[in-house]
Amino acid sequence: MVYLTRKAEFSASHYYHNPDFTPEENRRIFGKCNNPNGHGHNYTLEVTVKGEVNPRSGFVVDLKQLKEVMHREVLDAMDHRFLNKEVPEFLTRIPTTENLAIAIWQRLETKLQQAKLHRIRVYETPDLFVDFYGENSEGKAKSKEPTS
């Protein structure tokens, strides 16, 4: 099994708000992130796929194809967007980095043809990132990673 990671960057704005909370609760729990006018980040996305190396091509996955899928499914939808208002998942879910990683996993999982999705890592800033290993994962796949 070989793991391959492709990075991409996108910029978007968001704010955190749960309509089931009172305004006070929203402010207490989400702090400055509750500002309804939103604020932005330069996100870095890392998509890690895994698979056996194809003996003919020497590839785990055709990188061009992976890049195209990432652009079509994620960047075209999220880059330079207000996540709460323009990305359907976040009309009902709060666009935290956790939910962003989950949404990106769900967008990509069924679209990859050769390799299997292993991990979605989303950096909100260089000092904060979230890893998601899939809906049924308990994170045990972590121990099989080549690094970290």
Partner 1 sequence: MKAHLTRRYLFSASHRLHSDAMSGEENLTTYGKCNNPHGHGHNYRLEVTVSGPVDQRTGMVCNLVDLDGFIESEVLSRYNLENLNTLPEFAKNVPTTENLCVEIFEILQRGFLHAHLERVRIEETMMNSFEYSGRADLRK
Active site residue 46: no
- Is 98 a residue that touches partner 1 (CB under 8 A)? yes
- Is 18 a residue that touches partner 1 (CB under 8 A)? yes
- Is 35 a residue that touches partner 1 (CB under 8 A)? no
Q: Which is nearer to partner 1, 61 or 108 (CB)?
A: 108
Site string for partner 1, 109-148 (x = CB under 8 A): -----------------xxxxxxxx-x-xxx--x-----x
Active-site pick, 89, 98, 124, 145: 124
Pairing between β-strand 39-51 and β-strand 2-14 as defined by DSSP bridges: antiparallel
Which positions touch partner 1 (CB under 8 A)? 16, 18, 20-21, 29-31, 93-99, 101-102, 126-133, 135, 137-139, 142, 148
Catalytic positions, written as ranges: 33, 80, 124
